[in-house]
Every structure is written in structure tokens, then in C-alpha cells.
Chains A and B, each alone.
Chain A
Amino acid sequence: MNKDLPRWATAFVMPVLNLLSAMLVTALVIHLLGESPTESLAILVNSAVVNPEGLSYTLFYASTFIFTGLAVSLAMEAGLFNIGAEGQMYFAGLGLTLAMLSFDSTLPAIVLIPVGMTGAALFGALWAFVPGYLQAKRGSHVVVTTIMFNYIAAALMNTVIVKLVPPGEQNPASRAFAAAAEMPRLNQWFPVLGETPLNISFFLAIIALVIYGVVMSRSAWGYKVRAAGLNKHAAHYAGIRISKMIIIVMLISGALAGLGSVNSIMGSTHYLSLNFVGGAGFIGIAIALMGRQHPVGIFLSAVLFGALTQGGFDLSLEKQNIPPEMVILVQGLIILFCGAMEYLYAPAIAKMLNLKK
């Protein structure tokens, strides 16, 4: 349908138009709730971008979202719709915490942080393995199984976290980790950031984006992944083992989602708490679709969602009719316009460019 359109139109103009449509619908909802969309936007931009501490929070949230966005994007490139980043990141938090509770009193930070990351990646991968395996070997659809694994993770973590609560504490959370387990924060080098949790996870996320970009577009393996995603029968005919590919991609996807928990836990709270994921996995879906699985797109979309999350909190304080849950609606709308209806404006653009189909 869009084959005739030039690259700048499909890669830039259409995503922007789709994003604007989602924002327009959001503005309409805000208007119907009796608040002013322009005022709300001003508050949001001011809180999330203009103010340096706000911007720092925006990038802090974005660091997590880059990982979940990468997780969903990688799976999507292989033709798998991984809805389970939420559960994978949640379960990964347990792996990270178990590693911390075992080693945080003995290991120095330089070893401890990689150990925590490994724990998170392993548990995240494990949580994605079962749906991947079932898709590859039994044909049970990864969409439904990953959603089920989100619910299972939520119920399981309810049980597990209660067991990790230190004696005498009421709060459903594990004990706080030792100081060595804290990701170094950027405010020690940039005092302007204030008391914000932005930490080196942000750079790790950028590195992950670069590796993803290089692997997907410059390596044989990335080519195979994309081939399997575009046409699995053709890929199979070309000698790619599809079921092995599905399992490996899901393992890496789960590990990436799991790494998102490093920023949320080791970068901010320093303990495992109930529902710490808070929808970051679902935001990953919106980011992957909006960013068209391209590293630059993923980065920009993650920053946008970071800003929406940060600005959304401040907005909810000033405008009581716009709760932070508004971000969930925006996610849904972005998935709708950038994912399901991505070619909505293609005919109009083609007409404007006077292209004949």
C-alpha cells in the first residue's frame, strides 16, 4: 500500500502524523474532562523538559523504557508480538533482588552491579523462555501466553515479595540493598540535576540501542531475524531454523525487558517492591510501534514516554481531572494510530505527491 511512497514520507511524515492524531484525540478527551489541553501541554512541557530536574526524571524513566522498547522491538522484528515485557521485567526484579540479597554485603560495586544485571537478565529471559518455547514447539500463540505470563508473574510476585519482607516491617518490599548496589547517579557530575535518580543506566540503555542497531542492520544474525519476521516460510527455505530462532529471540527479548528493572530498582528505590514495573512493559509496545523498531525511533519514543510519565505526575497535581493513568490511554492511542493504523494517511500523502498507485 505504501510501496510507492518515498522513504522520507514513510519514515518521518507518517509517524509524525500518526503521533499527532493520537495527541489530538488525547486533547479532545482532556477538553471533554473540562480541562484546557493547551494549558495541560504547557504544564507538561514545563515539568518534563524545561526544568532541568524534570528533564532528568524524563531521561530516568526513558532509560527503563528504552530497554522494554528494545525487548518488544527485537521480538517484533522476528515477527513475534511480545506483550509480556511487563511480566518479564517484574520477574527479573526478583532475579536482581536475589542476587543483591546474596552478595551485596560481600562484593564491591564494580562486580556487584554486573552481577545484579546478570540476575535480572537471566530471570527476564527465563520468563520469556516458556512462551517462546511453546510458540516454537507447540504453536501456542505467543501473544496470549505472554499475556498469561504477565498475570502469573503478578500473582507469583505477590506471594514471593511477602516472603522477602524483613521481620518487623509492614511495607510489602524487600530490605534495602547495601550502598554498593546503587547505580552511580549522574548528579554527582552534574549538580544541576538535583536530587534525581538519573543514573548510568541511561548510558547502558544507549549502548544497548547502538548494539541493537548494529546487530539488526549489519550482522548476518540480524538479517536472519528480520528474514524470519518478514516471511518465515521463505526464511525456513533459506535454511534458517525458525523454532530455534523464535526461542533465542524470545530469550534475548526477555533479558532486555529484564534489564529495565536495573534502572528502576538499583537506580532508584534500591529494594524490590510490589508493582514496581508500573506499566513500563506495556509502554515498550507503544515505543516499539511508534519508533518503528529503529534505534533512533525507539530512543525518541522512549524520551517522549519518559516526558509523558514525568509531566503526567505534575499535571495530575495541578489538574485533578487528569490522573497519571491518562498515560495508559495515550499508550493505547499511540499503539492504535502508530501500530494498527500506520497507513491511515498513506493515500492522502500519495495523492498530494501526485503519485499513481
Chain B
Amino acid sequence: MTFDDLHIGSILVSTVRNAPVLIFAGMAGLFAERSGVIDIGLEGKILASAFVSAAVAFTTQNPWYGVMAGVLVSMLLASLQAYIAITQKGNQLVAGIAINIAMSGLTFVVAQYIFQQGGRTPDLGSARLFDVVLPGSEAVENIPFIGWLYAHLIGGHSVLVYLAFGLVPLVHWVVYHSRFGLRLRACGENPHAADAAGVSVERQRYAAMLIAGFLCSFSGAYLAIVQSGFFLRDMSAGAGYLALTAMVFGNWRPLHTFLGCLMFGFFGAVQIQIEGVELPVVGRLPGALIQMVPYVLTVIVLAGLMAKSVAPKALGTPFVKSR
């Protein structure tokens, strides 16, 4: 392969296909953190819902049952986190890490118990979600650029991809233009003021965590049912942390977070394309070095932007009602 074989077209298409994992998780984290609860447990929730949705989709041969089961598990984990963070007033970081580690172990143990394939589920085959073919795709297929744009970049993805992209304006509206969003932000910025105004901070944060669990589950389901077509041990590979970083990059705002997710999706796509390509000057990069790209990028983003970005003021602090 040479440098010319890098197709901008296929990079863009796989950017669109990479981004939903991060978008769902990023929007989930946004709800949690805007309410004042640090959600470092995204990773574990993605992994758990990826496993459960793959296992259920395979067993029932119906991807939608898989998605539903994933939602259930992810929301359960989110309520556990909420219970620790809100009711127990425990350490939110520790709770998240605990969930991540426990899920890494539990998904392997259960996958091994059920399928006996080294912590993997069988290939989902026809239980994967099908790609949507937009009407008229065939008609425009042969028109240069427009055909590709319509049939492959915009069309030809699974429903979950459209759901992810459609979610962004919805979250923006909820956070900035609805009563729920106003209260959500109040709880994250100044819970005592929210409390004085008659908002139940505890209830608001519980609601935010449940929404986070709900949204995060799609991230896992997408990973297993759409992108890979199976569950693999630790397959989330840091996606939860990348989503969190995209959120920091986006200053805890939905639209900017979305751009952060697209950026990581884009680099992920380049990473796949660049393997084995003779680049000018540097030559062929070893695959393992390319694997590091998203993680190095995360560190750079955090180092460059953390000082400028403004986290919700009450983030990570349990709310104790003043008497």
C-alpha cells in the first residue's frame, strides 16, 4: 500500500461508524456530570451492556431484545452508582473504578460459563442489526460523489447510528431549553441554590444517573451488535474514558462534546487506514504505535484543555442538605 491508497472517503465513512460508541457514552456522561456526579464508570457500563446485549441477541436471535437487556443492565449499574454517590455520599471515582474492574471480571466469567469460548460470545450472524438502505440509493449509486454521499456516508448505517446523531440536538435541547435541564445544571453548579428553590437535588441526580445508564447502554449494544457482531473480553478498550475526554474537550456542552466524539472517531478511522501504509518521511508505522494514538491524544487534549474548560462547580461533591 502507498500513501495514495488512503481514501478520504472510507475514512469519513468509518468516522461515522466509530463515533456512535463515543456519542452515546459522551451524552450519558454529560447528564451525570452536569448533575454533579462524576461518571468514570462509563467504561464498565459499556462493557456490561455490550456483553449482555450480545448474549441475549445471540440466544434469542433478535438484536432488539439484546438492546433492551443491555439497557436494563446498564441502568442497574447506574442506579448502584447513584446510590453510592447520592445516598451513601461515597467516593464517586472509587465507585466508578470498582464498577469498571468488577465488570471486566464478571463479563469474562459469565461469558466463559455460558459460551465456553474464552470469554467471547459466538458470532451473532443474522442477529446483528441490519444496515438501513435509504430509498433511492440504487438510483443515485452511479452518480459520482452524490451517489457515494447519499448511499454510503449518509445512508447504509444501522438505526443506532442515526439514533446517536439525532440524540445530540435532543440532548442540547433538554439541557439548555427544558425545565429539567435547567434544574439539572443548577444541581451541578450550585445544589444549595437549587435546593433553596425547591428542587430535590437527590431526585434530580438520581434521574440524571438513570438517563446516563440508559444512554450508555446503547454504546455497548452498538459496539457488540453493530460494530463487531460478537462480544470480546474487555472490548470497550477505553471507549468510556475517551468519551469522558471528549466531554472535557467539549466543555460539558452537548454540541462541543459531539465534535470531540467525531474527532476521536476520525482518528480511530485514520488509525485503521494507516496500518501498513508507507507514509512519506516516517515510513511504515508499527501497528502497536498506531494503537496508542487515541490514548496519547486523550492525554494531550486533557493537558491542553483542562485548564481552560470549566467543569460543573459541584462535580464530585456529595450534596448535604443544610439545616
Contact = CB atoms under 8 A, between A and B. Distances in A.
User: Is this pair of chains taken from one and the same complex?
Assistant: yes
Nearest to A333: B102
A165 to B, nearest CB: 14
Nearest to A329: B105
B238 interface: yes
A211 interface: no
A323 interface: yes
Contacts of B84: 336, 340-341
Given A134-B299, A156-B292, A336-B99, A141 B88 contact: no
A81 B104 CA distance: 19
Interface of A: 1, 29, 33, 81, 83, 130, 134, 138-141, 143-145, 147-149, 151-152, 155-156, 158-159, 282, 285-286, 289, 321-323, 325-333, 335-336, 339-344
Contact of B98 (A33, A141, A335): A335
A58 to B, nearest CB: 20
Interface residues of B, number: 44
A327 B101 CA distance: 10
Interface in B281-296: 286, 288-289, 291-292, 295-296
A147 B302 CA distance: 13
A148 B112 contact: no
Residue of A134, A289, A330, A341 contacting most chain B CB atoms (<10 Å): A341
B95 interface: yes
Given A29-B109, A155-B291, A340 B306 contact: no
A332 B304 CA distance: 32
A333 B97 CA distance: 10
A341 to B, nearest CB: 5
Given A33-B109, A148-B241, A289-B94, A139 B307 contact: yes
B95 A340 contact: yes
Interface in B178-206: none
Residue of B40, B98, B103, B109 contacting most chain A CB atoms (<10 Å): B98
Contact of B292 (A139, A155, A327): A155
A151 B107 CA distance: 20
Contact of A325 (B108, B245, B292, B296): B108
A105 B99 CA distance: 47
A332 B40 contact: no
Contacts of B112: 321, 323, 325
A332 B296 contact: no
15 contacts: A33-B113, A130-B299, A138-B304, A145-B303, A152-B299, A156-B288, A325-B109, A328-B102, A332-B100, A332-B104, A333-B98, A336-B84, A336-B99, A339-B91, A344-B88
Given A151-B295, A152-B295, A331-B101, A144 B302 contact: yes
A61 B109 CA distance: 22
A327 B296 contact: no
A67 B307 CA distance: 33
B321 interface: no
Given A143-B93, A339-B94, A340-B95, A328 B299 contact: no
A145 B298 CA distance: 8
Residue of A151, A285, A330 contacting most chain B CB atoms (<10 Å): A151
Given A144-B241, A152-B292, A339-B98, A332 B103 contact: yes
A155 B109 contact: no
A328 B92 CA distance: 20
B224 to A, nearest CB: 19
A144 B300 CA distance: 12
